[in-house]
Structure formats: C-alpha cells, structure tokens
Amino acid sequence: MKQLKFIDFCAGIGGGRLGLTNNNLECVGYSEIDYYAQKTYKTFYGDKEKNYGDLTRIDAEKLPDFDLMIGGFPCQTFSVIGKRAGFNDSRGMIIYSLIDIMKKKNVSYFILENVKGLVNHNNGKTLNEIVKALEDAGYDLEYRVLNSLNYGVPQMRERIYFIGIKKGLKKKKFIWPKPFKNLDIKDCLIDNDVEEQKLDDKIFQKYLNNKYNYGKFDLNQILKQDYLVLDTRQSDLRLYEKKVPTLRTGRHGILYVKNNKLYKLSGYESLLLQGFPKELAEKSKNSKLNNSKLLSQAGNAMTVSVIQALCESLLKCIGDEENE
C-alpha cells in the first residue's frame, strides 16, 4: 500500500497529526489561524509544511494533492460548556468548508473529531445534518463516541469521531479499535518545575470554605493520597483517583497530590495526558512556551493515542490483505 498523504485542518498543536505520522502517513500541509497554536506547532514540527491559514478562505485548487483529511472542526458551538449556538455561529459552519475541500480535492478518506455534545445538540438534528452532508459528498461513514480514558491515556475525554471512506474504496468492514491499557498517571505527572499550590493561600482557602465545599473535605487525608487529582471547578471541588477530568481550553484549575503536597497541573504534563511524547513536551519547556497557553492548547488538542488507533483501524479497512 502506498504511503498516504494528509493535510492537518483546524490543526491546533498537531495531536491528530502525530496519530497519523505514527502510522507512517506523510503530512503535506496544515491549516491553523491561532497565532499561539501556530507557534507551538512550529516548535514541535518545524517549518517544512505550509500553513494554509483560514480554511474558509482556502483555494482548494492551490492545495497539494492528499489522500486523507484530518480535522477537529470547532467545537465551541456544540459543547455543553459553550452557548451551543450550533449552525447559528459561523464556527459551526466550518464543517461545510471542509466538505467543500473534500469534494474539490477528491479526498479518499477523512477522520474528523468533535465534542460529545454534538450528539444531542438541537435534539440530534445537527448531527443528522452533518451525517447527511458527509454521506451526500460520496462517503461511507462511521461515527462513534470514544473516551480517551480507554485508549491509552488517564484522561476522561469523550469525543465523537467520524471516519469517512470514499465509496468504492473500502476493502472490508471498518472495525472500531478495541480499548487498550492506559498510560499510568504516574508517568504523566512528572514535571520537575511544576508550581506548588500553597495550602494557606487566601483564595484557595476561601474556595475550600465556600458554601459548596465547606466541611466536605479533609486536606490532611487528601494529602496522604499520592496522585489523587483535584478539580477546582468554579464552585465545587471534585476528586479523581488515577485519572484526570477532561482537559479543555480555559480549564486551569486541576491540582494533584504528590509527596504530601499539592501541585498545579502544568502545560508539560497536560501534553503527556493527551498522548504527546516526552520529546515534544521537552521542546515546549526548552522553548519557554507560555504555560497557560500550553494548558489551553493541550485541552483543545486531539488525543494522539486515539487518532493513532483509529488510523490503524482505517488502514486495515482499506489495505490489501497481503500488506496487513
């Protein structure tokens, strides 16, 4: 089977890219508009590929030929965290720009990702509309909600994934990847420069003693449990053992216990929790990328191990038997 080429749309910091290159696919370009995400992307992967910028303004004829499209099209309009404006928000229309590029470039395959909230947005009508548009574009389509927790990382992250294969190219039934062993959380929370959460900090103490948390938690007991994760949500505190809640843009209040102290999750560690390799996490530290920005970027990324598993299943579906 020939080496497949892809373009990384809505690229972020390239979590999807890594999942594909780990399967020996070749990246021939990407599309990302956020300045800081572009900076991180270049820090990780260099300047070899061109950034085609705003995909709604791309002239598809000027794109290099490619076999597979990957894209985590904007999820804010479908997320339960946002206002759920859906197609009333211009970001919700980007899926149609992606479909337009698929048609004009005769793309053979795609892997698209979005938040779980898309499933029931507008009573399921939004999902049905997207599914119809993708199928009408000429693709056999599979879609399913997967949790990153079951695919290689200790993070509770549910996302819907769409797998598209141009009609006539499927060699056999697409089989969704089976869950596999998680990376241990101890292998992710390893930043030697992580910031400690001071227990006597006034803001932290005020939070622990608000009407939602007062009297519910014993800090002395909490500090005895190494790798216990604390999610300091807007009002109420939540605890997790051996896993972290969904990383996302703007979620910077995750703490964890280690050696009887509380630490703030760092951008370096959030990359590892998304399946990025240590060498890229080290690049982020050596390049002195902004920690707050990196936390947001990691939260907005695709989970590398999930995309890698999906790509493996896709290759089995479309590959020749003698090459498997």
How would you label 156-183 residue by residue, b for 16+ Cβ within 10 Å and e otherwise?
A: ebebbbbbbbbeeeeeeebeebeeeebe
Q: Which of 27, 75, 311, 317 is catalytic?
A: 75
Between CA 274 and CA 188 the distance in angstroms is: 9
Asked if 112 contacts 130 with a C-beta cutoff of 8 angstroms, the reply is no
Phi, psi of 127 (to 5 degrees): -60, -45
> DSSP characters for 242-258?
S-BPPP-TT---EEEEE
Task: Give 203's contacts (C-beta < 8 A, 6+ positions apart).
Answer: none
| Single-letter code of the amino acid located at 324 | E
Asked if 281 contacts 15 with a C-beta cutoff of 8 angstroms, the reply is no
Between CA 244 and CA 234 the distance in angstroms is: 16
Q: Is 75 a catalytic residue?
A: yes
Catalytic residue positions? 75
